[in-house]
Amino acid sequence: MLERKKVRAANEDLPVIMEMNAASKMKLEKRMINLSFIGSVLFVVAEGVMAYISHSHAILMDCVFDVTDLIMIGPFLVLVPLLYRPVTERRPYGFSQVESLFLVIKYSVLLVVTIQLLIDSVQSILHGGHMVNASQLAGFEFGVFAGCLIIYFLLHYFSKRYASVVVKAEMYNWKLDVVSSFGVFAAFFGQFLLQKTPYEWLAPYIDPVVAIVMALILIVEPVKMILHGLRELVLFAPEQEVMDQIRSIAEQYMQTCSYTIEFLDVIQTGRKTWVEIYIDSPNDIITMQSLTRIRNGIREELKKNFDQIYVELIPDLPE
């Protein structure tokens, strides 16, 4: 009797433990997004002032990119608590599809802005380039590089405990900022070195060329994320690599009871993943005990690679 009470008490405490874990994740995620938000505000102000003073296309490119990212972070601070609400009959996917929609909108805006700035930089080259104060911009970009590097390492440190899809996207943006700011620093430092040399005629073209290179680098990720987000919004199956990974883990546990997988249905929306496995048995005998054991094993194994995972085993009934 005493053992039963202990088991019952442990089962009653389990939802509390899971809730605390979810609360800790939400708190940590909001902390990282707030850090990214504050860092973005500081750099946007600094880059906006410098772009106005120097009239640099490269600085303006970086500033507009950061402004767009900053505008999209604000609404997501409101969205984060909703992503941790449990699914209901009214909202079978919770608010996870809102996350996918949010990312599609964010990267679509970034894509449009990047293309427009790319066109402006090409037009600048065709009209003879654009002269800027190279030494001033080199010093400024080195400061930006150092600041972006600090924020990236802070986010990387916190992400070791937990990193959602949005946090990973923010880390990617800061990583791009680190690389691009160092590249811009190197370019303007090179322009400074060209002064009073036979290659000084190249100086007016360095600023728009740097802007074009930044645009070509930055344009890749928005295209990839838009396609990925649209796939999730229309509930298409994830990439084949993900499907193969889930199927491999499921088959390992199925072999313990000689069950076979007839059909694998996987849906990813935002940070949530739903896995439905239709199974068959050679002797037409499937027990609830074996289903529960296999389901729990598959779910625990998949939790190592997926944030919020839901696994269901469904007997494949004949038509």
Does position 3 have pLDDT exceeding 70, yes or no? no
pLDDT for the residue numbered 146: 92
pLDDT for the residue numbered 9: 40
pLDDT for the residue numbered 150: 92
Which residues in the chain are classed under CATH 3.30.70.1350? Answer: 240-315
Residue pLDDT, tens place only, 99-108: 778 778 878 8
Residue pLDDT, tens place only, 109-164: 888 878 887 888 888 888 777 677 888 888 998 999 999 999 989 888 887 776 66
Confidence of residue 22 (pLDDT cuts 50, 70, 90): low
pLDDT for the residue numbered 26: 73
Looking at the structure, give the CATH architecture of the domain made up of residues 240-315: 2-Layer Sandwich (3.30)
Domain spanning 2-233 has what CATH number?
1.20.1510.10
- DSSP lists the bridge partners of residue 277 as 264, 313
Comparing 46-55, 62-71, 80-89, the range with the smallest average pLDDT is: 80-89
Confidence of residue 10 (pLDDT cuts 50, 70, 90): very low
How large a percentage of the chain has pLDDT more than 90? 2
Please calculate the CA angle 223-227-233 and round it to the nearest 5 degrees: 140
Which residues in the chain are classed under CATH 1.20.1510.10? Answer: 2-233
What does the DSSP assignment read for the chain?
A: -HHHHHHHHHHHHHHHHHHHHHHHHHHHHHHHHHHHHHHHHHHHHHHHHHHHHH--HHHHHHHHHHHHHHHHHHHHHHHHHHHTSPP-SS-TTTTHHHHHHHHHHHHHHHHHHHHHHHHHHHHHHHTT-----HHHHHHHHHHHHHHHHHHHHHHHHHHTT---HHHHHHHHHHHHHHHHHHHHHHHHHHHHHHTTSTTGGGHHHHHHHHHHHHHHHHTHHHHHHHHHHHHHHTT----HHHHHHHHHHHHHHHTTTT-EEEEEEEEEETTEEEEEEEEE-TTS---HHHHHHHHHHHHHHHTTT-SEEEEEEEE----
Mean pLDDT of the chain: 78
pLDDT for the residue numbered 35: 85
Residue pLDDT, tens place only, 214-263: 778 778 878 888 888 888 777 777 888 888 888 988 888 888 787 888 88
Closest CA to 247 of 183, 315, 187, 302: 302
Confidence of residue 199 (pLDDT cuts 50, 70, 90): confident
> How far apart are alpha carbons 141 and 230 in whole angstroms?
35
pLDDT for the residue numbered 149: 92
CB atoms within 10 A of CB 72: 19
Comparing 57-71, 144-158, 189-203, 275-289, the range with the smallest average pLDDT is: 57-71
